[in-house]
Every structure is written in structure tokens, then in C-alpha cells.
Structure 1
Amino acid sequence: MTNLKFHAPSPADLEGGLASLRGDCARMAADWTAPARTATRPVSPALIGGVEVPAGSARLLDSMSDYGD
């Protein structure tokens, strides 16, 4: 079995700000590709069904204010 070791090119800057985060994202962007766009069609309401919400979750959402706390 091969022992693969991965090393970050630079140490993580845990105390960095937004500029540091944006720089990290810019460096990683080249490693990710966006999927091809696909056309979406509306779904008939008749096909949407069978959604079950646990009672505890429903009570939690019911007890929340409409505009946040």
C-alpha cells in the first residue's frame, strides 16, 4: 500500500481576514470546474409529495418568530 502524504503549499492563516480568505479561494479556483449548465423545467405540484417533517423540527420552526430574533 502506498503511503500518500499531502502538504499544503503554505501554512494555513487561521487569523487572516477576508483578504486572506479571498486569496485562498482564488488559489483553489483553478482546481475546481463548474458543471455544464442544464436547463431546468418547472415541476408539477402533483409530483411533489411525501415530504415528512419530524414533529420536533416542526415545533421548533413553529416557535420561531417570523422575522428572526
Structure 2
Amino acid sequence: MSTQPAKLIGRFSAEQIEEARRRYAQMPKRPIVDMAQAMATPEGRRKVQESIDHVRKEHALAFKLLKDR
């Protein structure tokens, strides 16, 4: 009986990728925002900018963590 190593895609096994896909599919999805309507008011523009800043910060952290592996 031979055991085959798990198939790797990059640094992740196929099982890890499939598990991540399953978890993502179970996450609640937010509706797509009409950007023209969101940007129509100063408050809306501020919220959009805060959201963009948050995403950039989180992505920078994720890239740093992946790079440091």
C-alpha cells in the first residue's frame, strides 16, 4: 500500500484550497453597492474612502504575512 503525497498548488494542498472554497461559499455575501448613489453625498464618499482604506490595509497585511513565510 503506497501513500501518495498530497497534490500541491503553490504552497497549498488541493484539500486546503477546497476547504477555503467551501468556507468562502458559506460566508454571507454583501449586496453590490451602486457606486454612483454611494458617492452622491459627502457622507457616502467618506464611507467609500474608509472602505477602500480598510481593504488596502488588510491586503498589505496579508501580502506581508505571505511574504514572510
**Under a length normalisation based on structure 1, what TM-score does the superposition of the two structures give?**
0.29
Which of the two has higher C-alpha Rg? 1
Higher helix share: 2
**Under a length normalisation based on structure 2, what TM-score does the superposition of the two structures give?**
0.29
Higher strand share: 2
